[in-house]
Amino acid sequence: MKLLQASLSPPYPPAGLRTAEEFPAFQRRLRRPTIAVLVWFLSARRLLFRLLILSSRFRENIIMSCFSIFFRRINFDHQSNKHNHDIPEIKNLKIITYKELKNATGCFSHANKVGEGGFGPVYKGRLKNGKNVAVKVLSSESKQGVREFLTELSVISDIEHENLASLYGCCIEGDHRILVYPYLENNSLAQTLLGSRYNDIRFDWRTRVKICVGVARGLAFLHEQVQPPIVHRDIKASNILLAEDLTPKISDFGLAKLLPPNTTHVSTRVAGTIGYLAPEYAIRGQVTRKSDVYSYGVLLLEIVTGRCNTNTRLPSEDQFLLERTWALYERGELESIVDTYLADDLDMKQAYNFLKIGLLCTQDVAKLRPTMSTVVRLLTSEIDINSQKITKPGLISDFFDLSVEGQKKAGSRFSFQVSSCHDSGPETSPLSSENTTHIFTFTGISD
């Protein structure tokens, strides 16, 4: 029995020996998985908590970024809508993106720059539809703002006349203010007739008559057929463009001024070019249609004589074209100033009459000057110029004397641009020589 009991009982280790469970190392190994799991759990919990915090911040950043983009977009749309508010009401006007104009002009490269307008540079470009255009970029330093820019758009987009440059499109995108015109390969009178004798255009007498009459008709349209009437304010050779058939196109309405109904003149900041400026405009800032008539008279003298209105390289008595013409008229030698490049088709009597019409337009007293519709009739011989009395013109020398005296009396700041030219080679235009510029402000007007 004892033997059976001994065989059924578990064997005990010999004396002095311990079981594996009794060894400390084994006990530590038994506890190790539990501690590792606990450490892993705590680490995972901490990591998850951090991830949740980061995720919350990330979501917050994303949300804030979305709100920021959303509100910026709303603000941009608001600004765009404000700038483009009047555009849908402007007929026959294409809206062109800045990107397309940038591509069209080679990033507005200097090689494509063809001139400098009243408010900024002008570039030649080619749109993606293949159309060649003149791109007039509003200078960042210009005084012309959105209101003036939109005024210019509304004025010129509604005007259609054979002798006025038509507007093709515009860009009002961000801070960019750009006008786009069809490009005329023959450029302007300043760069062809007056700019160089080395061009392919032959300005015979018949062509000059066409240009003189065309510009007069364009101005008569602005003054008398558009309501309210428009005063251009900067009629000069560089603003007379020539189409392929040499039809003249009056350009650059950047200085155009709408006359309110029932008013004869508007007081404003003077902007223009000395030599073309009427005395009442240059001295008192008084804008009238007769101011344009004066400028046209100077231009008429330039076309007939082939000389620009100011040339400081000539002797003092010949530097100012208007003064020289008046002196010759008084001596009865007016024919001597007619362009010697004119060939066999020259009608000397007609040229002589055109010079007298120019003097009639530049008379010092504005009310004595003819209207532009009368000028057209004089040019086409419907009215005999010999029936008109011609008085002394407003001369540049008188202007400088008056401006200095006016500065002393009124303390006004005068601003004008003096263009001086000389006979130049094929690469330059005489009207591109150095200019002197100042700023006009006026405290009052005297009639």
Sheet holding 435-437, edge to edge: 273-274, 417-419, 435-437
Contact present, 170 and 179 (Cβ < 8 Å): yes
CA angle 142, 143, 146 (to 5 degrees): 100
Contact present, 409 and 239 (Cβ < 8 Å): no
Q: Which residue among 77, 158, 204, 234 is the active-site one? A: 234
* Helix extents (H) in 339-410: 348-361, 372-379, 396-410
How many helices (DSSP H) and strands (DSSP E) are in the chain? 11, 15
Structure tokens at 85: 């508010």
Contact present, 127 and 96 (Cβ < 8 Å): yes
Region of 440 on the Ramachandran plot (φ > 0 left; ψ -120 to 50 alpha; else beta): beta
Residue linked to tokens 């337009």: 361
Which residues of 185-256 form beta strands (DSSP E)? 230-231, 240-242, 248-250
Q: Across-strand partners of 133?
A: 125, 182
Of the candidates 283, 198, 195, 272, which has an alpha carbon nearest to the alpha carbon of residue 236?
272
**Radius of gyration (C-alpha) of the chain in whole angstroms:** 40
Of the candidates 96, 101, 214, 221, which has an alpha carbon nearest to the alpha carbon of residue 158?
221
CA angle 18, 22, 27 (to 5 degrees): 150
CB atoms within 10 A of CB 70: 10
CA angle 431, 331, 362 (to 5 degrees): 45
Structure tokens at 414: 């005068």
Give the Å distances, CA to CA, from 11 to 5, 15, 19, 437: 11, 12, 12, 122
Give the Å distances, CA to CA, from 438 to 1, 139, 274, 413: 137, 17, 11, 8
Contact present, 237 and 192 (Cβ < 8 Å): no
Q: Is 175 a catalytic residue?
A: no
Q: How many residues does the chain have?
A: 447
Enzyme catalytic residues:
234
